[in-house]
Chain A
Amino acid sequence: MAVANAISDEGIVDVRDRTDIRRQAKLVSIFGLVLLALIAFYSRIDDFHIVYTLGERVIKDDPAKEINAQPIMIVGIVVAALALLLAAVNRVPKGALGALGYLLVGVAFFSGFIIWCYADQSGAFSVAIINPFPGTIRLATPLIFGAIAGCLCERAGVINIAIEGQFLMGAFFAAVASSMAYSAEMGLVGGILAGVAIAVLLGVFALRYQVNQVVLGVVLIALATGLTDFLLSQVPDDPDIKKYLNEPLILERVPISGLVNIPVIGPALFNQTILVYIMYASVVFVTLLLFQTTWGLRARSVGEHPKAADTVGIKVNRIRWQAVLLGGAFAGLGGAYFTVGSTGTFDSNASAGNGFIALAAVIMGRWNPVGATLASLLFGFCFTLQAQLAFLDKIPGELLRASPYLITVIAVAGSVGRVRPPAADGEPYQS
């Protein structure tokens, strides 16, 4: 190796950091791909006119508007080209400015993709781009509940893989409670209790019997799946009985007057069910709880260095129990979404793997409730887009369906090393 080891004034040998080289290579290839994709989109579009609406669907009072998307496309290409140029000379800023840059490139790619999807439609009438944000918030709601439950547990040092199991139990018992009590709100209570029930099992086996927590989570999911299927098969088909067990009332949307009229985000944020509003409050609550309270400081110390906490008199397992039970309540609420929060009746495997996506959101969000919420919103957005683009035949729906999973794999593979889980996550502690 013929690297000159010139020693600079600070006494640092002048070698170029490998991580820096890797970063540059990564950025050049990503931005290069985005630019290529955008140019490909551009060249394949004949007619840049697309129609859109700001509402959730095209209705008489709010007809779709037409727009020429060519300028947007060109701006996007310029943005990507500039980013590539900066990366090539290794001058991409770090920190907030860099993040803004990534966001711009992301928006450019995404708008190019959408324009390509909706341009050149051949059918009798044009499908309009509709506001994806209300759907995003709805589909992200259970993910966010699950993710903040995961954050709570894992910040206190208990790995919770069983979010999916808590979802299933929460969904089932929300349906039962709502059916029995004739009240969708009672369904939420049922969901909370069921989520806590799984949390109790998690606590007993992880904290009392010190079972490997990753293994335990998978077993608890199997248990919840089997149990809900068993109980579902026990619900008789007799409609007179069934209506008391699995025909729940569904939560109504509660528009918040005034706020709901804000364009684009108004209907997304403020025309939702009570469950979604509880979700907003929960994110704020858990964030404050973890980072601004005595309990939060203790919980995080228990997740990072339980022995240090023990030596100042903090009861490690008591705090962990509290975190696991509280997490169970949130995960149960997330589960309730799948019945009383959306379709109503509980079907086998109602949560359809959303618990695993929530788990991925915890990791992508770096064990921070706000980060996990953002990751959940990204997944919600993917799901919504998939549903909307299914009306177009540009790309196969299965490919879109796979996108959240691909994003997760790429994000997890790309972020390791820079992302640090709580140091004692998953390690049992015996004082």
Chain B
Amino acid sequence: MTLQAPVPTPGAEPESVERAAKAELRHPASWLPTVKVTAGAFLTALVIGAVVIALSDDDVIESLKYFGTYPWDSFTRSWDAIWSSYSALVKGAVGSSNAIASTLDRSAPLICAGLGVTLAFRAGLFNIGAQGQLIIGALCAGYVGFTWNLPPFVHLVVALVAGLASGALWGAIPGFLKARTGAHEVITTIMFNYLAASVLIYALSHDTFQRPGSDNALSPKVDDSAAFPRLSIGGFDAHLGVLIALLAGAAAWWLLERSTWGFELRAVGANAHASRTAGMSVAKVYTLAMLLAGMLAGLAATMQVLGNQNSLSATLPGSIGFDAITVALLGRASPLGTVLAGLLFGAMSVGGVAMQAGAGTPKELTDVLQALIVLFVAAPALVKGMLRIKESGGGATVMAKGWGS
């Protein structure tokens, strides 16, 4: 994941070195094992999912009662159940332009929050706090969005900035605590998630955040002047945030791989002691990395609040902040990987709803599948053993440390 550097040929000019670098980046040996292991993990999870689908299907259970006499029945019915579930899932995710729009819409916040987790990972920090950062971002972006009166474009920008800045601040606190006191970020970010949830519920109990005419703890929608513009082409209809998420991925890549600050961040993540000896400020990197992580989670929040104009409620954040962790893990803490993983999990989540409606298989199955995929990706040796993949490599690149460091 570090910058793939070129092989120096004796007497080579810098230009040819640069070309060599690009060639090496594309060389299959560097990424093929990773792709194979990831695909293997995905397949394995699907197979386990298929067994679960079959075993939870009423017809199949029925047929098992006479398995001894007509075993074939069990197999055909299992196949029917599995096929109808998975085909409904795929169709629901990418089967129409409408479905693709939903998938993108669903993926955008996952990608943004996932990028936040990824950046923190590369600095050697395990950011479990995306959920809290997202809640605070949603709260502030929403507040600006439905209480302030500003001209259309200005309103959107101000609401966006409010979401980003508040998420960033919320994220920066655990980073700062880690830098100053050594408090482990896993514990503090978890606690900050609960604190954020408390803040949200507290805010929703106030009149400012109460939607007129509703008895539930539900806020108004943001004004149209603060909403993301929509992109509509034929049946495809999504908000602008989808594009912003992809841009965020590109920005994160540039920051990590091409900037001096990304160099510092990766250095601190790989060896904080050597980085400090080389004159870098570990405290600054920890704080800034978490600040950026929080900002990206805040961006994810604006997708929900300004993009889909959802109301603030206790259930608004859903599990995006936690799914972001699995997205970043599947993406192996690389920006490109995170974007792809976000798209995959977004598709699975949208497809899961269609699967429940179409084939009666509970949508929670996709949560199980996602956890299994990441579990297998984390243990490449297991996947390679099962699928007889021989290449070395494809191991996890995520760095997270125990309590001591």
List the interface of chain A (C-beta within 8 A of B): 159, 161, 201, 205, 209-216, 218-220, 222-223, 225-227, 229-230, 232-234, 353, 356, 359-360, 363, 396, 398-399, 401-402, 405-406, 408-409, 412-414, 416-417, 420-421, 423, 425-427
B192 interfacial contact with A, CB 8 Å: yes
Contact between chains at B382 and A209 (CB < 8 Å): yes
Contact between chains at B190 and A356 (CB < 8 Å): yes
Query: Which of B201, B364, B375, B403 is A398 in contact with, Cβ under 8 Å?
Result: B201
Query: Cβ of B403: which chain A residues have Cβ within 8 Å of it?
Result: 159, 363, 421, 425-426
Known interface pairs A226-B367, A396-B205; 4 further A-B residue pairs with C-beta atoms within 8 A, sorted by A's residue number? A211-B396, A223-B375, A399-B198, A399-B202
Contact between chains at A226 and B201 (CB < 8 Å): no
Stretch of B137-145, B227-235, B252-260, B322-330 at the chain-chain interface: B322-330
Q: What is the CB-to-nearest-CB distance from A390 to chain B, in angstroms, rounded to a whole number?
A: 13
Which parts of B193-226 form the interface with A (CB within 8 Å)? Answer: 194-195, 198-199, 201-202, 205
Contact between chains at B183 and A214 (CB < 8 Å): no
Give the nearest-CB partner of A402 in chain B: B198
Query: Cβ of B387: which chain A residues have Cβ within 8 Å of it?
Result: none
Contact between chains at A398 and B381 (CB < 8 Å): no
Query: Cβ of A427: which chain B residues have Cβ within 8 Å of it?
Result: 402
CA distance A409 to B184 in the complex (A): 10
Query: Cβ of A214: which chain B residues have Cβ within 8 Å of it?
Result: 126, 186, 400-402
List the interface of chain B (C-beta within 8 A of A): 52, 56, 126, 128, 177, 180-184, 186-188, 190-192, 194-195, 198-199, 201-202, 205, 322, 325-326, 329, 362, 364-365, 367-368, 370-372, 374-375, 378-379, 381-382, 396, 398, 400-404
Query: Which of A218, A356, A413 is B325 in contact with, Cβ under 8 Å?
Result: A218
Query: Cβ of A426: which chain B residues have Cβ within 8 Å of it?
Result: 401-404
Mostly, the B contact residues are helix
Give the nearest-CB partner of A211 in chain B: B378
Contact between chains at B371 and A409 (CB < 8 Å): no
Query: Cβ of B378: which chain A residues have Cβ within 8 Å of it?
Result: 205, 209, 211-212, 215-216, 219
CA distance A161 to B381 in the complex (A): 22
Q: What is the CB-to-nearest-CB distance from A358 to chain B, in angstroms, rounded to a whole number?
A: 11
Query: Cβ of B364: which chain A residues have Cβ within 8 Å of it?
Result: 226, 229-230, 232-233
5 pairs, A vs B, C-beta closer than 8 Å: A205-B382, A219-B329, A225-B367, A226-B371, A359-B187
Contact between chains at A222 and B370 (CB < 8 Å): yes
Give the nearest-CB partner of A164 in chain B: B190
Contact between chains at B199 and A398 (CB < 8 Å): yes
Among all A-B residue pairs, the 7 with the closest Cβ atoms: A226-B367, A426-B402, A398-B202, A223-B371, A209-B379, A413-B183, A233-B362
Q: What is the CB-to-nearest-CB distance from B219 to chain A, in angstroms, rounded to a whole number?
A: 16
Q: What is the CB-to-nearest-CB distance from B182 to chain A, in angstroms, rounded to a whole number?
A: 4
A213-B402, A215-B398 known; A416 vs B182 contact (CB < 8 Å): yes
Query: Cβ of A218: which chain B residues have Cβ within 8 Å of it?
Result: 126, 128, 325
Query: Cβ of B398: which chain A residues have Cβ within 8 Å of it?
Result: 212, 215
Q: What is the CB-to-nearest-CB distance from A64 to chain B, in angstroms, rounded to a whole number?
A: 30
Contact between chains at B194 and A159 (CB < 8 Å): no
CA distance A401 to B202 in the complex (A): 10
Query: Cβ of A412: which chain B residues have Cβ within 8 Å of it?
Result: 183-184, 187-188
